[in-house]
Structure 1
Amino acid sequence: MTLHSEKTHTATPPYRASAEVAAHLQALHVDLIDLHLQGKQAHWNVVGKNFRDLHLQLDEVVTDARTFSDQVAERMRAIYITPDGRAATVAAQTSLATFPADEIDTAETVDLITAALYAVAATARRIHDDVDAEDPTTADILHTILERVEQLAWMIDSENRIANRSIPRAISS
């Protein structure tokens, strides 16, 4: 008895991503994986003032980055793109700056993780309009990612800000 059918499987999805959307989503996927890895590296090696609070915030970054990279990868599969999250691919394709290997002071960690969060946000913003023009459903995922990543950046960056003297200054009406 044969369990595998010899018949050729054919599917006719109503939408398949273009090569451009595939490249865009791969770029975001890689950045999110790197954010997760950098968040863990920081989490393990951060030291200094307000250690515990930042240590716990970094776990939020890691959890969200992992969740979002999985969501992007699963969306990629749903629209017939093969995601590549291998270590060598992430290292070669990430847009995030390299994170230090040693212990790192809390204030420097804040600056580096904020920069990494904004790099992910920049990738999502850069690809958004092209993705939205072709597939608004996928663009909705980008909206969710942007909302949370920029919120995390604001919260973490606030650790180093000085009220009414830090850049960027709040917009007042």
Structure 2
Amino acid sequence: MSKHQVKNPAVIPAFTASESLAADLQRALVDITALSLVGKQVHWNLVGPNFRDLHLNLDEVVDIAREGSDELAERMRAINAFPDGRPGTVASQTTVPEAPEGAVITADAVDYIVSAINAVVTTLRDIHDAVDEADPSSSGILEDYTQRLEQQSWFLSAQNYSAN
């Protein structure tokens, strides 16, 4: 028996994720986990105009990402898939761009975090239809976090717009 097999078949979930469903949810998990990490990295190293508002807004993004990673991982376990949020896995598989090192001026931080959020949203949208076909319950999670993250992207990006 492999280490991932359940000894008592009575405790196997009624629905078990296919390999492709598990892989799609893993992609989402990796990216949303990476967003929580880079969001904190920028939060800690932020400097410049509008510091406080942006500092607090970054915490909102991190909170959403942490909730999302937990919800995705727990959904994976509920459908007998095994989430992998180890640092090496996240670092090697994410589509989220690498966070800047050191101090980050607020305007650059906005541009960076919006690009990071948009990378996650792109992944969520890319996998949505396949996940919805395989498991509509899981696709609802993707829809929720897509909406929440797109709203944050809008809130943040508006700070760097000009009214021309």
Instruction: Report TM bin, short chain.
Output: over 0.9
Q: In the TM superposition, what is the alpha-carbon distance from 1:14 to its structure 2 partner? A: 2.8
TM-score by length of structure 1 reads 0.88
- The offset of 1:13, in angstroms, is 3.1
Equivalence map 1:30-41=2 (5 Å):
30-41=30-41
| TM-score between both structures, scaled by the size of structure 2 | 0.93
Q: Residue by residue, what CA displacement relative to the aligned partner does 1:130-162 show, whole Å, maximum 9, x if unpaired?
A: 000010010111110001000000000001011
Partner amino acid, structure 2, of 1:9: N
Question: Which residue of structure 1 lines up, in the alignment, with residue 9 of structure 2?
Answer: 10
Deviation at 1:22, TM superposition (A): 0.7
Partners in 2 of 1:108 and 1:13 — Cα distance? 46
Please list, as runs of the form range in 1=range in 2, the aligned pairs for 1:47-126 lying within 5 A after superposition: 47-126=47-126
Q: Deviations over 1:93-127 (max 9, x none)?
A: 00011011110110000000000001110000000
Report how many residues are paired.
157
Measured after TM superposition, the shift of residue 53 of structure 1 is: 0.5
1:145-164 equivalences in 2 (<5 Å): 145-163=145-163
Q: Give the corresponding residue for 1:4.
A: none
Partner of 1:168: none
Backbone CA RMSD of aligned residues:
0.9
> Unpaired runs of 5+ in structure 1?
1-7, 166-173
Give the Cα separation in 2 of the matches to 1:122 and 1:134: 19
Distance 2:137 2:146 in 1: 15
Residue in 2 that maps onto 1:26: 26
**Bigger helix fraction:** 2
Structure 2 regions of 5+ residues with no counterpart? Answer: 1-6
Percent of aligned positions that are identical: 50
SS in 2 for 1:158: helix
Task: Report the structure number with the largest CA radius of gyration.
Answer: 1
Amino acid at match of 2:9: T
In 1: Cα distance, 2:103 partner to 2:37 partner: 15
Shift of 1:15: 1.4
Runs of 4+ in 1 over 4 A off after TM superposition: none
What is the alpha-carbon distance in structure 2 between the residues aligned to residue 22 and residue 50 of structure 1?
Answer: 41
